[in-house]
Homo-oligomer: A and B are copies of this chain.
Amino acid sequence: MTRPPLRYERDPASIYRQSFATVEKEARLDRFTPGMAQLATRVIHACGMVEVADRLAFSGEAFAAGEAALAAGKPILCDCEMVGAGIIRRYLPAGNEVIVTLNEAGVPDRARDIGNTRSAAAVELWADHLDGAVVAIGNAPTALFHLLELLDAGAPKPALILGFPVGFVGAAESKAELANNPRGCDFVALRGRRGGSAMASAAVNALAAGLPEVVQ
């Protein structure tokens, strides 16, 4: 017995076109600037949930600040390997460095020393790269909280903080703290428990290239 062939869309350009068209039809994007609408579209595309558009908090210049930072060759600082893995390297405008310090040798000891998680300790290793950078947090609330503490203590300011930590302990709270007081940085944050590395990477990819998959 041979089965009938499966019927599904196989053309990449058509898949992207249909996907982005669905987002445009179902998501409320009218409150966004064109840049932020592209960022929201990529974030929605990464998670399959059009309603997250309604939970995005952001500063007025967030997209422009992130776009300019990448164009200027600033690095992208990620809280975990998954965020780094989701950044499409060929979209980056200046061969920007993607930095993940979570698995560096000194991190577990540093975490013990400061009484915090490895994710938080890893943020301290960003110090020399923070100034004007794009920060993409897609996993750990403690990474975002500790970044804000370092900024309070006088650390150099990133151009943009992409706040997408996820989960049940500190995710909503860390993003609320960021949105409530972004410490002079531009920011994008998905309010609530939802988030994740795919959304954080998607936001970076939007800053880097918008929606280049759309065939004009």
Q: Hey, which chain B residues are within 8 Å of A192, CB to CB?
A: 48
How far apart are the CA atoms of A23 and B167 in the complex, in Å?
A: 10
Q: Hey, which chain B residues are within 8 Å of A197, CB to CB?
A: 82, 86, 197-198
Q: Hey, which chain B residues are within 8 Å of A22, CB to CB?
A: 168-169
- Whether A194 lies near B8 (C-beta < 8 A) is no
- Whether A9 lies near B169 (C-beta < 8 A) is yes
Chain A residues touching B, majority SS = helix
How far apart are the CA atoms of A170 and B8 in the complex, in Å?
A: 7
How far apart are the CA atoms of A48 and B12 in the complex, in Å?
A: 30
Of B47, B145, B195, B198, the contact of A6 (CB 8 Å cutoff):
B145
Q: Which residue of B lies closest to A174 (CB)?
A: B8
- Whether A18 lies near B168 (C-beta < 8 A) is yes
| Stretch in A31-39, A61-69, A112-120, A125-133 touching the partner | A112-120
Q: Interface size (A, Cβ < 8 Å)?
A: 53
Q: Hey, which chain B residues are within 8 Å of A115, CB to CB?
A: 10-11
Contact of A177 with B by CB under 8 A: yes
Contact of A28 with B by CB under 8 A: no
How far apart are the CA atoms of A4 and B42 in the complex, in Å?
A: 36
With A193-B49, A196-B47, A197-B86 in contact, do A10 and B152 touch (Cβ < 8 Å)?
no
Q: Hey, which chain B residues are within 8 Å of A45, CB to CB?
A: 167-168
